[in-house]
A and B are shown apart, each in its own frame.
Chain A
């Protein structure tokens, strides 16, 4: 018997997870659809009949990020929280199989359900205004799509790690930690750059350009800037295994 992965065991785990969470997921999807309908309707009202293409893209981006963070922060929670954790951790399946089920539901699962709900809500509102020709094609802007997916995966990786690291309120605590780390990094970065350059800075964020006070903007050459886009990818590739490692080391 393979102790790391077995298709039979994985199939059982997938079926068990689906059976036990189906009603919650179905309810969540309906709430998501209702929320999107409300937002699109409001946007239509503000935009004289139909949401603009830019507005649709903004809703998709923000909505997907929110859905990723919220859902992923519950993905591994059953292995860390309360009385369900003992039964979940001692269920005869490998840590990798348990991790993979959580990953599948929270990455492709969320992506598919959110995209379907987005287009359904968008189409219904546009159809009501007889403006279905205004439906946005998200595949048109490849550059936006690529960076949006990378940040979706980054947010997912952070929230997934939080879901197994924090035993209580993982969504709130992960968010607090994330914003705390960003704030501290930004302050340290600002201070360090000020000392390094010996001048007053206007604005600067980590892994970004530097705006000198009443002066020019400094940035890396274009060829090197492209390397910075790999920072979120690297973070994703660090945080996913970190969440897995935490699952294997989870104690109650």
Chain B
């Protein structure tokens, strides 16, 4: 669905934000793109949807360069930016005027999503609060049924019940033919939603693993004070004691703690990143 090869991008040639980045995004998956503030998550997403053009390398969607913004490519992708500004129309009018551009737009599902997200369908969207506007556009994005759905920090501006509702709707809207990419710097918001984790750090993708692969290779847990720390790849203090990541040599199941994993991967000379790199055969681009 999305094929990126040796992508270089920067808003100036001297300061690259993405460097020699290669990545494949496949249908049937929900990718969580994690990174620190300013790591280049939004920039990568903009390259994927054709709103930023690579300085070198390629970024193709369904076999065509995203930067060309061909109508055939655009009708199979929807991008929801972090800062949204809804048009001067009601939710129903938006569906009537814009839904027609998307061949698989589902009016029934759109109405249901609006109801579940508690968005009034007959009020002009630009008169609603930022959070309500965002929910209306999330409902629209899901109803387009595009093959590629790219959401940039979708939970920013949503209240707590809406975040939970958002996770339910996205999980329900995923099909075998659909690829969803969600960027966030609040990893807790994507817990239990994503099935593949992408971590962008220092201009590169430093992790591209499914949750199952991570659970298979790493053991997440806590360490009692004074306990033996031999073999621990990463540890950090928390209110629950020392949170640790170990190699999962016993093959036992543990829940992947995205926040601890993210911290582990973004430390200098990350032992977790080195361990994962040596225990997985990466495709050669």
Which A residues contact B (CB, under 8 angstroms)? Answer: 1, 3, 6, 9, 12, 15-16, 19-21, 23-24, 82-84, 86-87, 89-95, 248-249, 251-252
Contacts and interface: CB of A to CB of B under 8 A. Distances in A.
B100 A12 contact: yes
Contacts of B37: none
Contacts of A6: 71
Contacts of B69: 89-90, 95, 248
Interface string B36-62: 000000000010011111000000000
B88 A86 contact: no
B178 to A, nearest CB: 17
Nearest to A20: B87
B188 interface: no
Given A1-B71, A94-B71, A95-B69, A82 B83 contact: yes
Nearest to A82: B85
B182 to A, nearest CB: 16
Contact of B93 (A19, A95, A251): A19
A91 B71 CA distance: 8
Interface residues of B, number: 30
Interface of B: 46, 49-53, 69-72, 74-75, 77-79, 81, 83-85, 87-89, 93, 96-98, 100-102, 137
B93 A3 contact: no
B147 to A, nearest CB: 12
Nearest to B77: A90
Main secondary structure of the interface of A (DSSP, over half): helix
A23 B49 contact: no
Nearest to B137: A87
Contacts of B77: 90
A91 B101 contact: yes
16 contacts: A12-B100, A16-B98, A21-B88, A83-B81, A87-B79, A87-B84, A87-B137, A90-B74, A90-B78, A91-B74, A92-B72, A92-B101, A93-B74, A248-B69, A251-B46, A252-B46
B83 A20 contact: no
Contacts of B97: 12, 15-16, 19-20
B101 A84 contact: no
Nearest to A6: B71
Contacts of B93: 19
A90 B98 contact: no
B86 to A, nearest CB: 9
The 5 A-B pairs at the shortest CB distance, nearest first, are namely A92-B75, A92-B74, A83-B85, A16-B97, A86-B81
Nearest to A88: B87
Given A9-B101, A251-B52, A93 B89 contact: no
Nearest to B71: A92
Contacts of B89: 19-20
A126 B53 CA distance: 57
Contacts of A249: 53
A36 B76 CA distance: 47
A83 B84 contact: yes
A23 B87 CA distance: 12
A202 B78 CA distance: 62
